[in-house]
């Protein structure tokens, strides 16, 4: 693997007639700003392990775990250090004075965040790189394109800085929830318009949800939403058939688009992508560029856009991306290539480098296709045979983050487990207890190319103890069918995990009818499987966020302590920005750059 990295470095060096110099990661990965590094770059590193302790207290709005879901402006209090000139701004539209850099959000400079301007700077523009092309960009057609959605679409509520415990009113001015958690009443702000001029009142929102339901009925069915209607010009009511603890979080992503545009063009036409957000898509050239323009009539103080025009160039080649940054053709971009990071570190980059980690990458074992995995001792032994720290050092030069759980470090679903560690001698003892000779185990891991290096490394580690695991490439388009049919043997992936939806994976992987079956306890421990189903039913019917999380955590404990789901590595993630770009705020779990905070 190191030989492969050396080859890649040489190719990149030749292509730019430059020489790369390796640099080791500082063992202290605490958050903060470091100066004096090579090239004078300002480096901001995220401390994911301090996420829980570093989460700010809510200064306004409503926690999704609270049973009292009223969130009117009159009930909130302004931050202790409210910016000057904000005396007339509702408290829920002010920044949180306790905000810190954690696993879920990262700032280049907190002072810049608190003191940023709150109006469009006429004529200002910035050029960035799109994470990927998005040919169809209405939200139900671009669900995976998270780099775009929070910047150009809005819901009735929003998650402040991506925090699941700080859900605030947005298009809705306030909301209340009935005692049985079935009726949600939203008071809509007056004066909001879609960027096509359509008034965003309660009747318009009702029509917008009608169209959303037409395009993506699962988005409504999955949260037990059965009725929604305008009960006045500025009152909107949603009714559920049964409580849903994550309904408030879901509402933040039930984006509201102009019903006028959808009536005219249909739900799947890009011309229908008209919202109320800080930015709108003013131009798109397939495979070339997106242009976002600041909404001149935007209404929400804390999300006021500053830069008028944002160009997103679409470039696929890593070397071309890096050279665009070096040559000043772009002002910032996100990347994963360690070689690009090393180059910027060693060649006088004088801007801001952000460094964090990607999402969770748990490992799953399939006893349906590998009978030896039926044995608890064998599943546990597999964990003892895999040196995740060694893989991290080999693949990511130690910059990745070895998980303590199946799920992302510091996130709402994480349940740290001290049973995950490397000890091949103990693993061999476990195999002996099960009466299985490692040399008798032979199976193939069919994987997509992006996971190739990871599985080849595991292959080498298992080979040392006599287990033969072949690695066979799988076409990406066949991956879903392959997983759905349960034909795989060993796989890694987050199965839809997000901090805002820790329940999400279980709705994909647990039950026989689910899309990707990854829990097989019914084959070897039916009693445990019944307990897991009980927790699943309790989780999906829980009325509050905290209650849901208790059952979600118990499911994770069952899966981890059974060694059917194991830890993995969160790979490193980087972003580079010109020194002139201020107030860089990134939700690091999904690496979304919040455009409305940027300024020069």
Q: Enumerate residues 6+ apart whose C-beta is below 8 A from 351.
A: 41, 42, 332, 576, 577, 578, 579, 581
Give 44's pLDDT tier (boundaries 50, 70, 90). low
Q: What is the mean pLDDT of the chain?
A: 84
One of 3.40.720.10, 3.40.640.10, 3.40.1640.10, 3.90.76.10 is the CATH number of 154-275, namely 3.90.76.10
* Domain 363-570 -> CATH class: alpha beta
Q: Is the pLDDT of residue 38 over 80?
A: no
Q: How confident is the model over 239-266, as pLDDT tens digits?
A: 999 999 999 999 999 999 999 999 999 9
Q: Is the pLDDT of residue 4 over 60?
A: no
Here the contacts of 206-209 (C-beta below 8 Å, separation 24 or greater) are: 206/230, 206/236, 207/259, 207/262, 207/263, 208/256, 208/257, 208/258, 208/259, 208/262, 209/254, 209/256
Q: Enumerate residues 6+ apart whose C-beta is below 8 A from 23.
A: 38, 342, 345, 346
Q: Is the pLDDT of residue 35 over 50?
A: no
Determine what percent of the chain falls in helix, strand and coil, rounding each to the nearest 5. Answer: 35, 20, 45
- The count of other CB atoms within 10 Å of the CB of residue 435 is 8
Q: How confident is the model over 204-217, as pLDDT tens digits?
A: 999 999 999 999 99
Question: What is the rounded CA–CA span in Å between residue 44 and residue 183?
Answer: 44
Question: What is the rounded CA–CA span in Å between residue 282 and residue 250?
Answer: 27
What is the chain's Cα-based Rg? 25
- The count of other CB atoms within 10 Å of the CB of residue 190 is 12
Give 28's pLDDT tier (boundaries 50, 70, 90). very low
Mean pLDDT, range 396-421, rounded to an integer: 94
Please count the helices (runs of H) and the strands (runs of E) in the chain. 19, 25
| CA distances in angstroms from 578 to 89, 282, 323, 325, 330, listed in the order given | 32, 24, 13, 8, 8
What does the pLDDT read at residue 417? 97
Instruction: Answer positive or negative: Cα dihedral of 149, 150, 156, 158.
Output: positive
Q: Enumerate residues 6+ apart whose C-beta is below 8 A from 230.
A: 201, 202, 203, 205, 206, 236, 237
| CA distances in angstroms from 492 to 66, 94, 117, 495, listed in the order given | 34, 40, 44, 9
Q: How confident is the model over 409-460, as pLDDT tens digits?
A: 888 999 999 999 999 999 999 999 999 999 999 999 988 656 678 899 999 9
Q: Where are the domains of the chain?
A: 1-56+99-150+277-356+574-600, 154-275, 363-570
Give 93's pLDDT tier (boundaries 50, 70, 90). confident
Token pair 């509402």 is found at: 251
Annotate 201-234 with three-state secondary structure. Answer: CHHHHHHHHHHHHHHCCHHHHCCCEEEEEEEECC
Mean pLDDT, range 501-525, rounded to an integer: 92
Q: Tokens in use for 143? A: 């669900």
Question: What is the rounded CA–CA span in Å between residue 420 and residue 63?
Answer: 33
Give 484's pLDDT tier (boundaries 50, 70, 90). confident
> Do residues 209 and 257 lie in contact, with contact meaning Cβ atoms separated by under 8 Å?
no
Question: What is the rounded CA–CA span in Å between residue 76 and residue 70?
Answer: 10
What does the pLDDT read at residue 95? 72
Give 49's pLDDT tier (boundaries 50, 70, 90). very low
Mean pLDDT, range 129-156, rounded to an integer: 88
What does the pLDDT read at residue 481? 72
How far is residue 162 CA from its own chain's centroid? Answer: 9
Burial class (CB in 10 A: 0-12, 13-18, 19+), 523: middle
Question: What is the rounded CA–CA span in Å between residue 344 and residue 324?
Answer: 12
Mean pLDDT, range 301-324, rounded to an integer: 95
Q: Where are the alpha helices (DSSP H) in 386-494?
A: 388-396, 424-433, 452-464, 479-484
What does the pLDDT read at residue 127? 98
Q: Enumerate residues 6+ apart whose C-beta is below 8 A from 382.
A: 365, 373, 427, 563, 566
Instruction: Answer positive or negative: Cα dihedral of 341, 343, 347, 351.
Output: negative
| CA distances in angstroms from 94 to 155, 169, 592, listed in the order given | 18, 12, 21
What does the pLDDT read at residue 24? 30
Q: Which homologous superfamily does the CATH classification assign to the domain defined by 1-56+99-150+277-356+574-600? A: Periplasmic binding protein-like II (3.40.190.10)
DSSP 8-state secondary structure symbol assigned to residue 238: E
Burial class (CB in 10 A: 0-12, 13-18, 19+), 46: buried
Give the three-state DSSP class for 580: coil
Mean pLDDT, range 129-144, rounded to an integer: 85
Q: Enumerate residues 6+ apart whose C-beta is below 8 A from 95.
A: 79, 83, 113, 114, 302
Q: What is the DSSP string of 496-557?
A: T-BTTBTTTTHHHHSSTTSSS----HHHH-HHHHHHHHHHHHHHHH-SSHHHHHHHHHHHHH
What does the pLDDT read at residue 98? 65
Question: What is the rounded CA–CA span in Å between residue 572 and residue 400?
Answer: 5
Q: Is the pLDDT of residue 487 over 50?
A: yes
Lowest mean per-residue pLDDT among 88-92, 226-230, 424-428: 88-92
The DSSP bridge pattern shows strands 121-129 and 307-313 to be parallel
CA angle 98, 192, 150 (to 5 degrees): 50
The DSSP bridge pattern shows strands 572-577 and 42-45 to be unpaired
Question: What is the rounded CA–CA span in Å between residue 316 and residue 441?
Answer: 40
Q: How confident is the model over 549-592, as pLDDT tens digits?
A: 999 999 999 999 999 999 999 999 999 999 999 999 888 777 88
Question: What is the rounded CA–CA span in Å between residue 387 and residue 495?
Answer: 23
- The count of other CB atoms within 10 Å of the CB of residue 126 is 23
The number of residues making up the chain comes to 600
How far is residue 530 CA from its own chain's centroid? Answer: 31
What does the pLDDT read at residue 590? 79
Lowest mean per-residue pLDDT among 85-94, 331-340, 430-439: 85-94
pTM: predicted TM-score of the whole model, two decimal places: 0.82
Give 358's pLDDT tier (boundaries 50, 70, 90). confident
Lowest mean per-residue pLDDT among 23-37, 193-207, 264-278: 23-37
């Amino acid at each position: 693997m190191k030989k492969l990295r050396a080859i890649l470095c040489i190719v990149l060096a030749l292509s730019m007639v430059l020489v790369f110099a390796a640099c080791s990661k500082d063992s202290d990965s605490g958050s903060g700003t470091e100066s004096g590094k090579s090239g004078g770059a300002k480096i901001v590193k995220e401390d994911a392990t301090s996420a829980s302790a570093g989460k700010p207290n809510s200064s306004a709005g409503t926690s999704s775990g609270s049973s009292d879901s009223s969130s009117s402006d009159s009930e909130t209090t302004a931050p202790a250090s409210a910016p000057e000139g904000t005396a007339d701004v509702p408290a829920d539209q002010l920044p949180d004075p306790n905000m810190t850099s954690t696993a879920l959000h990262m700032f280049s400079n907190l002072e810049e965040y608190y003191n940023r301007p709150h109006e469009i700077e006429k004529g200002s523009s910035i050029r960035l790189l799109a994470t990927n092309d998005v040919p169809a960009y209405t939200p139900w057609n671009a669900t995976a394109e998270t780099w775009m959605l929070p910047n150009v679409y809005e819901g009735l509520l929003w998650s402040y800085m991506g925090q699941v415990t700080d859900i605030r009113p947005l298009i809705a001015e306030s909301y209340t929830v009935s005692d049985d958690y079935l009726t949600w009443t939203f008071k809509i702000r007056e004066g909001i318009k879609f960027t096509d001029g359509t008034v965003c009142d309660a009747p318009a929102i009702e029509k917008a949800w009608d169209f959303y339901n037409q395009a993506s009925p699962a988005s409504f069915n999955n949260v037990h939403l059965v009725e929604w209607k305008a009960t006045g010009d500025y009152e909107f009511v949603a009714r559920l058939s049964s409580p849903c603890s994550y309904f408030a979080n879901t509402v933040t992503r039930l984006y509201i688009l102009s019903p006028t545009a959808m009536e005219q063009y249909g739900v799947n036409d890009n011309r229908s992508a008209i919202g109320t957000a800080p930015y709108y898509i003013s131009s798109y050239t397939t495979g070339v560029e997106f242009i976002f323009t600041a909404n001149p009539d935007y209404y929400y103080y804390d999300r006021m856009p500053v830069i008028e025009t944002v160009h997103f160039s679409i470039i696929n080649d890593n070397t071309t991306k890096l050279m665009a940054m070096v040559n000043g053709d772009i002002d910032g971009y996100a990347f994963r290539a360690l070689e690009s990071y090393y180059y910027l570190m060693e060649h006088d980059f004088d801007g801001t480098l952000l460094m964090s980690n990607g999402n969770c990458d748990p490992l799953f074992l399939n006893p349906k296709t590998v009978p030896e995995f039926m044995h608890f001792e064998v599943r546990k032994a597999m964990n003892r045979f895999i040196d995740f720290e060694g893989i991290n050092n080999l693949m990511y030069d130690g910059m990745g983050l070895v998980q303590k759980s199946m799920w992302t470090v510091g996130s709402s679903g994480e349940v740290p487990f001290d049973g995950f560690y490397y000890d091949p001698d103990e693993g061999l003892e476990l195999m002996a207890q099960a009466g299985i000779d490692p040399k008798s185990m032979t199976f193939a891991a069919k994987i997509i190319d992006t996971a190739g290096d990871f599985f080849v490394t595991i292959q080498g580690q298992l080979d040392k103890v006599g287990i033969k695991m072949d690695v066979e490439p799988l076409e990406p388009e066949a991956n879903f069918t392959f997983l759905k049919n349960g034909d795989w043997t060993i796989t890694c992936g987050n199965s839809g995990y997000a901090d805002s939806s820790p329940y999400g994976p279980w709705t994909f992987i647990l039950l026989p009818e689910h899309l990707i079956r990854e829990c097989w306890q019914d084959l070897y421990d039916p009693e445990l499987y019944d307990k897991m189903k009980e927790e699943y039913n309790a989780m999906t019917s829980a009325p509050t966020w905290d209650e849901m999380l208790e059952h979600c955590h118990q499911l994770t404990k069952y899966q981890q302590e059974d060694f059917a789901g194991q830890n993995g590595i969160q790979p490193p993630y980087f972003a580079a920005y010109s020194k002139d770009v201020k107030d860089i705020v990134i939700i690091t779990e999904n690496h979304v750059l919040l455009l409305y905070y940027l300024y020069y």
